[in-house]
Amino acid sequence: MNEDLRNIIRSIPNFPKKGIVFRDITTLLKDGRAFGRAVDQFAEHYRDARITTVVSTEARGFILGGAIAMKLGAGFVPARKPGKLPAATTKESYALEYGTDSVEIHIDAIKRGDRVLVHDDLLATGGTAGATCKLVDRLGGTVVGVCFLIELTFLHGREHLGNYDVYSLISYDSE
């Protein structure tokens, strides 16, 4: 485990509501060495995977996702909330604790044969990442891996990602 990176992340109790501990990655992002080390670890893990595209979800996922794509020499594709992308999109919905949400990508963002790494800052229940993987699959790409800076293992999000290869740098076993 990356205990040194984990120690840099700020924990904020009772945010956004009572009983939740928010893992604030801004403290890691503002530390140039830690930020670089995290990006380097992702790039090293996928060095031989022949990634052509990194798809990352908004908003914090964009920060590391873009840097990982650059380090791997791959393109970057944003996955966004509905209505945020200007051209034709495809959408996938997923369940939340109360209700649903959706994620979209441009229909021309992924082409058949693309080797795609899906990245987000945090794996909680797996809904957002799972929906993003479905979009990549629908457009003909191959999801080579799904990676996260932080995984909240007690929420079992990994189980909702099926057979996708999941890689996380930091895990929390409880709130």
How many Cα atoms sit within 13 Å of 119 on the Cβ side?
A: 31
State pTM to two decimals.
0.95
Residue 64 in tokens: 């590391």
Q: Which listed residue (10, 23, 37, 60) is catalytic?
A: 60
Q: Is-catalytic flag, 97?
A: yes
Q: Phi and psi of 10, rounded to 5°? A: -85, 135
pLDDT tens by residue, the chain, 175 residues:
588 999 999 999 999 889 889 999 999 999 999 999 999 999 999 999 999 999 999 989 999 999 999 999 999 999 999 999 999 999 999 987 678 999 999 999 999 999 999 999 999 999 999 999 999 999 999 999 999 999 999 999 999 998 999 999 999 997 6
Mention every residue, 6+ apart, whose C-beta is less than 8 A from residue 45. 145, 147, 167
Domains of the chain: 48-172 (3.40.50.2020)
C-alpha span between 78 and 105 (Å, rounded):
7
Q: Which listed residue (10, 37, 50, 97) is catalytic?
A: 97
